[in-house]
Each structure stands twice: as C-alpha cells, then as structure tokens.
Amino acid sequence: MNCSHVAKKFAIGAALVLSLTLARAADDLPKAETILDKYVDATGGKAAYMKHHTEITKGTMDIAALGVKGTVTTYSAEPNKSYTEFDLPGLGKTTKGTDGTVYWMQSAMVGAHIEEGAEKAQSMRARMNAEVAWRELFKEVKTVGMDTVEGKECYKVEMTPTEGAPITQYYDKRSSLILKMTMTTQSALGEQTADSFYSDYRKEDDVVMPHKIKTNIAGQDIVFTVDSVTFNPEIPADKFALPSEIKALANKK
C-alpha cells in the first residue's frame, strides 16, 4: 500500500477522533447561562443586589511604572446614572459619567468628550447591578473552554454585547467567582486590549465583590484597590448633571 495514502488515512482518522473528542469536551462543559447565574448566586444572589439603589465606592489607583498613585471615587444610582472622579497627581483630574442618556468624559488630555457607538455601549454595560442584568446587556453568551488563572481551573465564557467586540471572562470552577476578564477597550484615544485580574473578594452588605483589580493595558499595570463601599447613601441629583462643557457639546449634536 502506498505510504502517503496510509498517512492521509491516518491524518483523516486522527482529525475525526480529535473533532469528536473536542465536541464531547464542549458538551461536558456547563452552559454559559448556568455559569453566569451561579456567579450571581455565589456573590449574594439577585435579591441582595436589587436592594441597592445607590452606591459610593472609594479607592486608590496605582500606576507603578509611572510612579503615579491617586484616588478614585464613583457615585452610582439605578438604573444607569454614574459619576467618577480620578485624581492622579501629575496627570490632573479626569471625570467621567452619565445622566442616564449622555455618556461623557473630561480630562486635560482629551478635553470634553461625548461617547458614542461602541465606546458608549461599553460604558452602558458598566451600570449599577449589571451583574444581574447580563441578559439585557449581551445578545449571546457561550462557554468556549477551560483555562487556568493564578493556578485555578476556570470556565472560559465568551460574551457578545449588543454592540462592540466580545468579552471573555474566566470563572473559577470551584468558587464561581470571576478571576479574569479580557476585552477590547474603547476610548477617545482608540482601541486597546486589556486583561483584568480580580482578587481579594470580600462581602459588602451581603454582596461579595473584588477589592483588588489589576489591569494590564498597553504593557502597563494599573491596580485599583477598593477602600470603602457605601450602599443606599443620599446622592444629590445634581451629582449626575452634565458639566457645562459637555452640555454645550450635547446641544451642538
């Protein structure tokens, strides 16, 4: 028998066995919907999230490579209002927020900027209690395999939003907590791939949340550490009002 013919038959057979094995492995993985719902349960359950209507989170941001460390304060109100202040010595103050309709950012580097398209969609997904609203925010979710993060086995879930590039999240097989997220970020400066690692999970008023997030973007590590979380504080309505520069841009549009 011709040896090349034998080699071809072997290659075809090996490919068939491999494809069947991979298909079987995929079938053995839990559905993405199950993984996402288990995450909500593991972090407190839907009822625990939904009793929170406003939130103030304070923390620090550290960019070691630049020798920069500053503070971050975020004010949030359901369903989708937010205002964040980044105060980083040497880089000045950056603010970002939404009144629920207009999404914007303002800084010394980019000036006043209104988000649109995929950039706006990205900010819309960062709404309060987004963890329990994933079915509204993503049009498709699927488990695409297994991986290891920080030595822990994780389910790899690909989530496709209604607008923008897919996001990949890694859920600890044992605890159901998110350990890593990979996404393409959208900003006034363009697209960049970012890997974020979540750790130091602790309970805040019946909801378990990460208190340390390390993000690698453009070769730089940015570490955000949560110092305090306050649920259901009184937040003045004007906290979410558009700054005058943003309002002027919005009126032009």
CA distance 14 to 127: 48
Mean pLDDT of 109-121: 90
Between 115 and 22, the more confident residue is 115
Do residues 232 and 53 touch, judged by C-beta distance below 8 A? yes
pLDDT tens digit string along 193-237?
Answer: 899 999 999 999 999 999 999 999 888 899 999 999 999 999 999
**Mean pLDDT, residues 163-183 taken together:** 96
| Extents of the domains making up the chain | 30-252
Architecture of domain 30-252: Clam (2.50)
The residue type at 31:
K
Higher-pLDDT residue of 8 and 135 is 135
Which of 97, 119, 68 lies closest to 223 in space, CA to CA?
68
Which pair of structure tokens corresponds to residue 126? 């960062």
Distance from first CA to last CA of the chain, Å, rounded? 74
Residue in the structure block whose two tokens are 């700054």 = 243
Q: What is the pLDDT of residue 25?
A: 52
Instruction: Say if residues 154 and 169 touch (Cβ distance below 8 Å).
Output: no
Q: Closest by alpha carbon to 39, among 241, 240, 239, 201?
A: 201
Quick one: pLDDT at residue 91? 79
Query: Is there a contact between 43 and 209 (Cβ–Cβ < 8 Å)?
Result: yes
